[in-house]
Amino acid sequence: MSRPALPRPVFRFAPSPTGLIHVGNARTALLNALLARRAGGSFILRFDDTDAARSRTEYADAIAADLAWLGIPPDLTVRQSDRLADYGAAAERLKAAGRLYPAYETEEELELKRRLQRARGLPPVYDRAALALTDADRARLEAEGRAPHWRFRLAHRIVTWDDGVRGPQHVDTANLSDPVLVRADGSYLYTLPSVVDDIALGVTDVVRGEDHVTNTAVQIELFEALGGPVPRFAHHNLIILPSGEGLSKRLGHLSVSALREAGEEPLAVAAAAVLVGTSHAVEAVESLEALMEKVALPAISRAPARFDPEDLSLLTARTLHMMPYAAAAPRLEALGIGGGAAFWSAVRGNLSRFAEAQEWWQVAATPRAGLLAEEDRAFLAEAATLLPAEPWDGATYPAWIKAVKAASGRAGKALFHPLRRALTGRDTGPELAALLRLMGRARVAGRLGGAEA
């Protein structure tokens, strides 16, 4: 593959399309996307789909849709299943360099070795018996019908990196088993394809969950063996449920799609996913750019990030309350809601879900009868006669209320509550002042008179 000229730094999110992504995966995706965006770099979506039996196109499509919904569409999408030839070429180069060797043990034989090592108080590290095989041994094993799997010969040295979250790290690879890169059936485990792709795509930064920290020393050796530059690594804490349980893609925990269907705001999901388990408070933000300014790898805690789904609804409401009209406008339009910025600023403070804007638009703009108590009819009829002539402006409502107050002698709840019920059919809602202007005189007068207006 010729390397696309992507602006640097280059970040990537590399899910396996074996399920829907959850909030924890969204954390990884957002950190990568926002760090890339802030640095003027690139964000790649890479589907780790070498496991043909478990990978599904539907999941890949759903993941891409989830990223778009979160506001972080990738600059480039690649699929590992398209790139098998490159992995084969890399494996051949490693073989030629003596870094990839065939081993023939069965899973049972390996398990027996590990048990014996443990019994002798030794760590269960692969003993490299396969390195001692002669050509004749290999020929005999293959004649017995055994196909080799292929292990990467580690350099047995101290590998170091400066982790963006965890600080300086060092691992002695002499304590690790030589990892299997290619299975006996010729399929690749995650390690080699990931490194080959990171080199081919010029990835400069790998930000991923700390469940991958144990892979890093091996991958660094592999980057070096393949002659690629080693990217910067950062391993963030994982999101857990209030029960302490980790999130599982397989169990469908907190999937981004389910949160979208439940009416949560993408920006609220993004803020929660990025800010939970950091030194920042989890709070609503006005835009993805504002969230981007808050992202800081060193602010990420080492302890797991406890995420309470209950908190998300509140964050969605707060996100709506501060949402600028420009952000709401295309969505209002898609729902057939008019009223412009005046409508949005009138109702946003009352929304707990975006879709509720539609109900308030109906209150403001479609004929309906209000709720009139018998004992309020005379008061409301009088209030209607006091309505100023149009055009209405910001001074209309206070002037009208003043006049209604003076004429009726009513104040407080006795004044406002019947007006609100007659005009909106509800006990609570947005400021009447703003709604009134959206409704216009004829509708207001009609509803005060008990008509469907």
Site for ligand GLU, rule CB under 6 A: 14-16, 48, 190, 194, 206, 208, 212
Tokens standing for residue 104: 């023939």
Q: Report the b/e string of 30-40 with b at 16+ CB within 10 A.
A: bbbbbbbbeee
Give least dist CB 23 to ligand GLU, A. Answer: 15
Q: How far is the C-alpha of 33 from the C-alpha of 10, rounded, in Å?
A: 10
Give least dist CB 19 to ligand GLU, A. Answer: 10
Report which secondary-structure segment, H or E, holds 45: strand 42-47
| Nearer CB in complex with ligand GLU: 44/103 | 44
| Nearer CB in complex with ligand GLU: 14/35 | 14
Give least dist CB 398 to ligand GLU, A. Answer: 59
Q: Do the beta carbons of residue 172 and residue 145 sit within 8 Å?
A: no
| Nearer CB in complex with ligand GLU: 138/212 | 212
Q: Do the beta carbons of residue 299 and residue 251 sit within 8 Å?
A: no
| Nearer CB in complex with ligand GLU: 16/204 | 16
To the nearest 10 degrees (0 to 180), the angle between helices 412-424 and 432-439 is 40
Residues 6+ apart with CB under 8 A from 271: 282, 283, 284, 285, 291, 315, 319
| Nearer CB in complex with ligand GLU: 173/194 | 194
Using the structure block, give the residue that is written with the tokens 């009088």: 382
| Nearer CB in complex with ligand GLU: 48/66 | 48
Give least dist CB 50 to ligand GLU, A. Answer: 9
Give least dist CB 90 to ligand GLU, A. Answer: 16
| Nearer CB in complex with ligand GLU: 190/325 | 190
Give least dist CB 350 to ligand GLU, A. Answer: 40
Residue 259 CB coordination number (10 Å): 24
The candidate with the shortest Cα–Cα distance to 202, out of 46, 37, 28, 38, is 46
Using the structure block, give the residue that is written with the tokens 């469908």: 252
CA dist list (Å): 393 to 245, 275, 293, 360, 434 = 55, 42, 39, 20, 10
Q: Do the beta carbons of residue 266 and residue 71 sit within 8 Å?
A: yes
| Nearer CB in complex with ligand GLU: 48/376 | 48
Give least dist CB 439 to ligand GLU, A. Answer: 52
Tokens standing for residue 370: 């209000």
Q: How far is the C-alpha of 323 from the C-alpha of 337, rounded, in Å?
A: 16
| Nearer CB in complex with ligand GLU: 194/278 | 194
Give least dist CB 111 to ligand GLU, A. Answer: 25
Give least dist CB 237 to ligand GLU, A. Answer: 15
